[in-house]
Amino acid sequence: MSTSHTLSRLIWPGVAVVGALTLSAQPVFAGECPADKIKPNAQQMVDYKPVGVTDVTLGAIDLGKQPAHLEGRELRFRKLTIAPGGIVPWHSHDDRPALIFVQQGEIVEYASNCIDPIVHKAGELRPEVFGTSHWWKNLGKETVVLYVGDVRKDPNDHNM
C-alpha cells in the first residue's frame, strides 16, 4: 500500500469528525416555558432543603473595584454538582441575574411562571433574570454539572 493511500485512510476520518463537530457546535439555549404554559404563580414556593448538591465558588470579582463601579456587587463563577435525586432549593433571581450552563446530565426546573416543568439538557444555557423564581431537581441517573455566572449584591446570599 502506498504511503499516500495510508495517510489518506488515516486523515480523512479525522477530518470528517472535526467537520461534524464544527457543524454541531452552534450555541444552544435551554428549553423555555412554551408561551401557552406561561402563567403568573403557576408554581408555588416549596420549602425543600438542598439535597445532593455541592456548590463551589471557582472565582469572584468585586465589581465596585472595576471601572464600571458597581458598588456592592460581585461577579461570581461557580460549579454546582447535583447527584441523582438531588434538589437545588427554591430561590429568586429578582436581585441576582445569572447564566446557567448545563455541562453534564439533564435536570428539571420548576419555575414560578410556568405550568409545566422545564427540562434542561447538557450543552444548554439558561438565563435567569428578574421575575425568575424556581427550584431544580435531578430526576435522572447521571450526576448533573452546572456552571453558574451570577451577579450578587449580598455577600451573605448563599442561595444557589
Each residue's pLDDT expressed in tens, for the chain with a length of 160 residues: 555 554 445 444 444 444 444 444 444 455 788 889 999 999 999 999 999 999 999 999 999 999 999 999 999 999 999 999 999 999 999 999 999 999 999 999 999 999 999 999 999 999 999 998 999 999 999 999 999 999 998 777 777 6
Q: For residues 122-148, b (16+ Cβ closer than 10 Å) or e, as one string?
A: ebbebebeeebbbbbbbeeeeebbbbb
Q: What is the rounded CA–CA span in Å between residue 92 and residue 89?
A: 10
- What pTM, to 2 d.p., does this model score? 0.78
Question: Would you state the pLDDT for residue 17?
Answer: 43
* Helix or strand holding residue 18 (H, E): helix 3-24
**Cell numbers representing residue 43 in the block:** 408554581
Torsion of CA 91, 96, 101, 105, to 10 degrees: -10
